[in-house]
A = this chain, B = another copy of it.
Amino acid sequence: MMPSAAFSNSPAADALESDPAKMSWMVGSPPPPERIIRFEDGSYFQYPQMRWSVAHFRELMPTTNVSRGIGAPNTLERSLQAGIDEVSFVPMGSDRPMTWRDSLLANYTDGIVVLHKGRVVYERYFGALKPEGQHAAMSVTKTFVGTLAAMMVADGTLDPDRKVVEYVPELGKSAFGSATVRQLMDMTTGIRFSENYADPKADVWAHAAAGNPLPKPKDYTGPRSYYEFLQTVQPEGVHGEAFHYRTANTDALGWVMARVSGKSVAQLLSECIWSKLGAEQDAYMTVDSTGTPFAGGGLNAGLRDLARFGEMIRNDGQYNGQQVLPKAAVDDIRRGASKEFFAKAGYPLLTGWSYHDMWWHTHNEHGAFMARGVYGQALYIDPKAEAVIARFASHPVAANAANDATSLPAYDAVAKYLMSR
């Protein structure tokens, strides 16, 4: 679920001051009125309440389960490396080095797990997250959806070159209808969809209102579900010429996949990934009033299960004693896409990157690629260093640029540290 009120970007109290336990959100029987967080007034998505909400979405709104099945979880072996805390790096735009340890508070980390050659070498929790607990993945959700789409392409059930309208006729009059499935998967569609959270008229708010599971206000005349919203999306620009990061692409892709498979994105996630990973916890997705999971950002998962997913991708789809995803799907994911298209989107901190199958590709010397969520959620895979970093966070600023300076160089520094061991 997206919020129904504007993001709050007030100056940040530091990570310790805004710790949800210190702020006593929802503590007491009942909690004092000023410490109750509600969905209906949008306060749940404002800082600092949001730091509690990211680990408690299901307590605020309806959700659908992503079952891990009922068997034994896969065991994550541990081989902790105390030296990681002292790894030093220089934040982007700074000339003063910072340690890994200090970076975790600087970017409001809620939990972080580092795997090296499949073993846990580092694991810490902060804020409202615990090992047994799920955290909002936000746009990391997109990467799971893109990965499932790559799987369906690899097994022949989805043709990336076909037009969206051929799969979902209801999208024929929208800007999506004339796009190809591949253009959805790489977000190179030409659609009008502003994600400027600071603008109350941005399309992202109409999208959020449509997907809001609460009863609609009496005077509400807009679309009443994610699928209804998608049918209203207008064209802007040309398909297939540039990368434009637009959440609605993932929702449209999720609709295509549901239509092709007869299963919701949440069901696909459970059947094709969660139940095969040896996950230790179920995950869940937020849903709209018609039961459609929010493909663009509704996943909530355990941190260690996110790490397992990353390790499976690092191992070409093989994990937990089985081929979870076809190798061809992971090969396609690893391929990346056009840096030229990406450059047109204008991310000053991400020079030389590309976006493919809803993964972000650094194209650095290690071939690292990653999933990214708006509050600093990340799944970073460094193939050369044989490292996977899974991170949940709740940075007060809703933009990756606020996180990247203290996280991207930190990931790279830890990967290099691990290679040197």
Report which A residues bind B (CB closer than 8 A).
Answer: 26, 29-31, 36-40, 56, 58-65, 67, 69-73, 131-134, 214-215, 225, 227, 255, 258-259, 264, 275, 280-282, 284, 287, 289-292, 302, 304
For A133, the closest partner residue in chain B by CB is B67
A-B contact pairs, 26 of them (CB 8 A): A29-B227, A29-B292, A30-B225, A30-B291, A30-B292, A31-B291, A38-B289, A40-B215, A56-B64, A58-B58, A58-B63, A58-B284, A59-B62, A59-B64, A59-B291, A60-B62, A62-B62, A63-B63, A67-B132, A69-B132, A70-B73, A71-B73, A71-B280, A72-B73, A214-B215, A282-B282
A131/B280 in contact, CB under 8 A: no
- Give complex CA distance A292, B284 in Å: 21
By the criterion CB–CB under 8 Å, are B26 and A291 in contact? yes
Question: In the complex, are the beta carbons of A39 and B59 less than 8 A apart?
Answer: no
**Complexed CA–CA distance, A255 and B28 (Å):** 10
Contacting residue for A291 out of B36, B40, B227, CB 8 A: B36
Question: Known interface pairs A215-B40, A282-B282. Does A29 touch B264 (Cβ–Cβ under 8 Å)?
Answer: yes
Question: Which residue of B has the minimal Cβ distance to A58?
Answer: B63
CB-based contact B227/A30 at 8 Å: yes
CA separation between A346 and B36, bound complex, in Å? Answer: 42
Contact, CB under 8 Å: A302 / B70: yes
A124–chain B nearest beta-carbon distance, Å: 16
Q: Which 7 pairs from chain A and chain B are nearest by CB? A: A29-B258, A70-B280, A72-B72, A40-B215, A67-B132, A30-B290, A59-B64
Q: Chain B residues near A67 (CB, 8 Å)?
A: 132-133, 281
Report the separation of the CA atoms of residues A69 and B304 in the bound assembly, to the nearest whole angstrom.
13
A70 close to B282 (CB less than 8 A): no
Among B31, B59, B70, the residue within 8 A (CB) of A281 is B70
| Among B58, B61, B225, B281, contact of A64 (Cβ-Cβ < 8 Å) | B58
